[in-house]
Chains A and B, each alone.
Chain A
Amino acid sequence: LAKKNKENKMSNLVEEYFEAHSSSKVLTSDRTLQKLRKRRLDQQTLHDLLKKVPLAYAAEIKELNQQHESLFSKWMLQLHLGFNIVLYGLGSKRDLLEKFRTSVLQDSVHLVVNGYFPSITVRSVLSSITEEVLDHTGTFRSPLDQLEFIIKRFKEDSSLELYVLIHNLDSQMLRGERSQQILAQLCSLPSIYLIASIDHINAPLMWDQAKLSLYNWLWYETTTFSPYVEETSYENSLLVQQSGSLALSSITHVLRSLTLNARGIFRLLAQYQLENKDNPSYPGLSFQDFYQQCREAFLVNSDLTLRAQLTEFRDHKLIRTKRGADGVEYLLIPVDDSTLTDFLEKEDED
């Protein structure tokens, strides 16, 4: 009966999948964040704002954590018996691992790997082992060689012991097949003890049978409900202002410093682009047309001045040129339509 139930559930799941992916048309409203008239928060203000919010259910969360902390001695025993431990569940497990480190591992050699850190690589992990733990100052040609060296050293010297704590083993940088392979081989050494945490729902997909047996995991559910402060600070969220793309403020800054005519030229281009925003195949404004229009609006008097002006825009990354299929140069402003609209409205106000 249970099996049948399961099967039912299974087919439901499948149906739900196809239901979700059946129509290519997605029904959502067209509202955008710009229309909300709310300034985008940057990292700092976000942090400050969140500080003001008290953590909900602090007492219960603390109790949960205490439950998990009571497992520390068991973890140690199991680590020494050749198992590695992986923590899963909702909530940041950083503090828990830190606690484990400070309370149990204080006197032993240990290595902390912050997986959520966006520039971490397996190589840096291996290097920190060879340099800090093994006191070896040589370079290796490939991580595989390095790994071999480490394995050899650890096998020779049985007194060497190393605890490795990895926060977010499933992070962007470490989830690759090769890095997992190397880490798995490293952690299969009997004198290296690994505790790792995973958060992504599909994290177990990283491991095949061979890696699983190398890792020799013991799974522990440690749901903490604590916010992912450190982990998400690197995550480039949609709602946080991103430094990479052009923002409204920067456009206005640049344009303020230009001549009236130059501003007019940009405005013309922007208006043209907005008029065509509903046309998906709009390639941009061709240089010849643009020149014609600028001349009509008495903004430029020669081909050369317009080109000089466009070069200036291009240097500030205000426009982009693209060569079409017919070899003609097309001009585009690489900015969101909504930002552009805001910009035009602001110009009108001035």
Chain B
Amino acid sequence: QEVQEDLNKQLFDNLVNFLRRSHSEFQEKTTEWTCRMKSREIPTAALVLGVNVTDHDLTFRSLSEVLQNNVTPYIALLEAKECPGIKNLLQKLMGQLMNCYVDVDSLEDEDNVQVSQNRMRCSMTSLVSWYESVTKKTDSETPRKRRNSSSRPWQSPPVVVVFKDMESFTTKVLQDFIVISSQHIHELPLILIFGIATSPMIIHSLLPHSVSSLLCIELFQSLSSKEHLSTVIDKLLLTAQFPFKLGEKVLQVLINIFLYHDFSVQNFIKGFQLCIVEHFYSQPLSILCCKPVDAKKRVNSLSHNQCENVRRLPSFRRYVESQASEKQIALLTTDSYLKEIIQKLLEDLQVYHENYVSVLRCLHVFTSSLPKYPLGKQIRELHCACLEHQVWETEEYESSLQLARMLNKSDLVTMLQRCVEILLSSSGKEFDKTVEKLKEFLTQFQKLEAEACQEQDVSLSSQKELQKKTDLYHLQKTLLELKESRRSKKLTKFEMLRFEVVEYLDSLVRNYLVPADHKTLHEIVYFNTASVLREHLNAAPRIALHTALNNPYWYLKNQALKSDGGGISNKVPDICIVYKLHLECGRLINLVDWLEAFSTVVTAAEGPNTDSASSAQVDDVIHARFIRAVSELELLGFIKPSKQKTDHVARLTWGGC
């Protein structure tokens, strides 16, 4: 648990940092702009943020921080749910501004009291008297600010009001606020920032021309959430820094949720978090999933049971089977030897990760520039493909190699250079040789270039020579030479070299991009139970209800419940009978018929052992059971009482579900 919390924290810090950084550019632009704007209209920044509403909070928080640090303005963040009316909006605005004000200046006693007083008054006044008080307050506020700010280098810092979710504000409130504040723009320098989730068109559809003409709008576009995702994946998954890794299926599920459901990076992170929790909770060997330094200690302190657990891992079994027989015995019996081996294997795994990442990046450099992207455009697709199976066996890889063999030289050289950079920056030790080799390739290319130049020189000079008037013999000779050189160009060194490079890259891939499943002890660091994730994050309550009602055997493991298909068995629970009967109906259901059908089914079950004397009693009981089942269906939302016809209920679902 400790490890996990550590990890969690680490992860979060990293993420927050990263998100900050990614926003900072965008924020700087905005701040700069807020400093600059000082005109008669209300300056307004419209931030187009995309549909992932859940991520915006962080953006706004860091934006306000940045704004505050540059001490330009006082900031109020407004949310639509807090401001159903203009009264609440102003109340909220005042409260926040006052607080801001106190925070920034940290003035004592007098001001504080005044602030709280003001706030009280503001909140208690009714709509009419509120207006006066607000004008008074804004009046009284502004000079104070002026007075205050005169001691500062800049005159009258603007007040920034951020509308976090423009779409959900009521138009009336927004319009009123804009009109009111435009009247006071001289005394109170206001700047509005709209957070827009859809498109800037919304401003014009929300605000009529008379209102929007009061605004001086500038548009800002934030990064798309897809780009965020790729950077998050880059930072989280494609580093050797975190010992915890995601398996292919899990990653696929997370990405699918992201791409097909919500575009929310926050939810992606949540899913990742759940993976961590689940992994450390369910896998007893996950204690070994930590930094190599700690791992050594922990391996040494493993108990016998834990060692047994290790022996039970399928990947470890494979490993044992590949060893010599006396070694096998040692592995399976002596704990101390096992621990040694575990340490070695863990180190191997670590090295594998380091190499994997950098080679993956190299491969991505190549494949991402190919036409039609046979292996995917993004590095995450490549990563998934590599994790899924041996990538060099796939058709896509084959075709991308073929395409790579047709690259032209300048591309190839730049790619090689980038590969060298990547490999140099990676921490793996085994790459010295690789780097050397690649550098060699590069120098060869340069040489080639030089040669080509020389050749050209030669040809030029030869042509010059040609132009010189020489004797026939010389001319013939030079022409022959020229021909020769041209022919040799046909099977150039360059092409050979290109083949060589591609071959080498291929070998790199084969060596280092082995899928993790094939590694020994991968279970410790890889989390691969995608079903858990799907169940808990992307649940389908309707399907669960449907299976429970249609096929109760799924849950209640009683032989009697095993149904043979379409028929309505009388042994299933009451509610299932009622449900199945209701499936056969149209839009309206007659309660009497339903009840009769139900009692027919049920009495068929009890048929042999009922006496005719107690049939009335049985009838009542059946009636009661029917009532209970029907009201349960009503609670579940399958039916609702209908007024269309007496004693009928309306069905709310359709078809067979």
Contact = CB atoms under 8 A, between A and B. Distances in A.
Interface of A: 12-13, 16-17, 19-21, 26-33, 35-36, 38, 41, 45-46, 49-50, 52-53, 56-57, 60-61, 63-64, 74, 77-78, 81, 83, 88-91, 144, 181, 198-204, 209-210, 212-213, 216, 218-221, 223, 225, 227-228, 231-232, 235, 237-240, 336-338
A168 B586 CA distance: 29
Nearest to B654: A20
Contacts of A41: 620, 623-624, 627
Interface in B605-656: 619-621, 623-628, 630-632, 634-638, 641, 644-649, 651, 653-656
A60 B554 CA distance: 11
Nearest to B88: A144
Interface in B26-67: 52-54
B137 interface: no
Interface stretch (B98-106, B327-335, B518-526, B590-598): B590-598
A213 B541 contact: no
Contacts of A78: 277
17 contacts: A12-B655, A20-B586, A21-B654, A28-B589, A31-B593, A53-B621, A56-B574, A57-B556, A77-B277, A88-B544, A90-B575, A200-B636, A202-B637, A209-B262, A213-B54, A225-B573, A238-B649
A85 B197 CA distance: 29
A172 B615 CA distance: 38
A200 B639 CA distance: 11
Given A16-B655, A209-B262, A201 B539 contact: no
A227 B628 CA distance: 8
Interface of B: 1, 8, 52-54, 81-82, 165, 262, 264, 266-267, 270, 273-274, 277, 281, 535-539, 541-542, 544-545, 548-549, 552, 555-558, 561, 573-575, 585-593, 595, 619-621, 623-628, 630-632, 634-638, 641, 644-649, 651, 653-657
A50 B556 contact: no
A286 to B, nearest CB: 26
Given A223-B544, A227-B632, 4 more contacts: A12-B655, A200-B636, A213-B267, A237-B627
A80 B428 CA distance: 38
B539 A61 contact: no
B530 to A, nearest CB: 15
The 6 closest A-B pairs by CB, nearest first: A16-B655, A219-B539, A90-B548, A213-B54, A49-B624, A20-B654
A50 B647 contact: no
Nearest to A171: B635
A20 B273 CA distance: 44
B587 A239 contact: no
Contacts of A52: 621
Given A213-B266, A225-B548, A64 B556 contact: yes
A16 B645 contact: no
Contacts of A337: 646
B494 to A, nearest CB: 44
A336 B645 CA distance: 11
B655 A201 contact: no
A341 to B, nearest CB: 12
Given A32-B646, A52-B621, A213-B266, A89 B545 contact: yes
Contact of B545 (A27, A201, A213): A201
B549 A90 contact: yes
Given A28-B593, A32-B592, A338-B646, A83 B535 contact: no
Given A28-B590, A201-B637, A221 B544 contact: yes
A21, A225, A238, A240 pick with most chain B CB within 10 angstroms? A238
Contacts of A46: 624, 627-628
B265 to A, nearest CB: 11
Given A64-B556, A238-B647, A26 B587 contact: yes
Q: Which residue, of B274, B555, B574, B657, has the highest number of chain A Cβ atoms within 10 A? A: B555
Nearest to B594: A28
Contacts of B626: 239
A81 B277 contact: yes
Nearest to A219: B539
Contact of B590 (A31, A49, A89): A31
B635 A17 contact: no
Contacts of A28: 585-586, 588-590, 593, 645, 648
B167 to A, nearest CB: 11
B542 A17 contact: no
A2 to B, nearest CB: 12
A198 B644 CA distance: 29
A12 B636 CA distance: 24
Given A21-B654, A29-B593, A336-B646, A201 B274 contact: no
Contacts of B52: 209
Contacts of B590: 28-29, 31
B628 A232 contact: yes
B536 A53 contact: no
A7 to B, nearest CB: 14
A60 to B, nearest CB: 4
Contact of B592 (A36, A63, A218, A228): A36
Contact of A201 (B1, B541, B586, B591): B541
Contacts of B542: 201
A240 B641 CA distance: 13
Contacts of A31: 590, 592-593, 647
A57 B647 CA distance: 32
A191 B264 CA distance: 24
Given A90-B548, A144-B82, A27 B586 contact: yes
A99 B380 CA distance: 44
Given A77-B277, A232-B631, A225 B541 contact: no
A219 B555 contact: no
Contacts of B277: 77-78, 81
A53 B625 contact: yes
A28 B589 CA distance: 7
Contact of B653 (A144, A201, A213): A201
A197 to B, nearest CB: 11
A172 B535 CA distance: 27
